[in-house]
Amino acid sequence: MAGMWVAMMAVMMLPGSAPAALRTERKLPFFVIYFVSWAAFGVAAAGLQFFLESRHFITEDMALANPTVAGFLLIAIGGYELTTWKHEFLQACRAAHVAGRPYSLACLGASWALMGTLFVVGVMDYAWIALLALLMAAQKFLPWGSALASAAGIGFIIWGGLKLLVV
């Protein structure tokens, strides 16, 4: 399970680090630090998934079984997208000058909450994996990425609220 999460983090997050790596002199250490940061997150996510599975809190599709919990998780994800922390991490992740560890932690801080979406839609839903990877890349690379993060936050809050209403 941890291997699956680590591989998923690598596929989703390493391509987005390429432009920053091109701006550094020490490319291999940069990628190693970036990968290790996301691999550690992947191991933590796998631990959470194992915990949820062992208590039968997720379905066979690897999505949260309780729609109320899923709704509140979406609202929390949306709320984080609107925080100053998210926007400061995103700003640091978009900076022209990058160093391996600070950059990795900034990008982790800018994107970690969005990964929670996978627990709502299904951990291995490839369409959502691709959509989230595109959303994170757009937030990092587009000039209006910060506004996109805010819009996504509002969208997640609405989605979570609707999920709660349907319960």
Residue 127 structure tokens: 């369409």
Q: Tens of pLDDT along 109-153?
A: 999 999 999 999 998 889 999 999 999 999 998 999 999 999 999
Q: Average pLDDT of the chain?
A: 88
Determine the Cα–Cα distance for residues 154 and 116; give it in Å rounded to an integer.
16
Distances, alpha carbon 163 to alpha carbons 36, 79, 160, in Å: 35, 16, 5
59 or 95, which is more confident:
59
For residue 18, how many other CB atoms are within 10 A of its CB?
11
User: Model pTM greater than 0.95?
Assistant: no
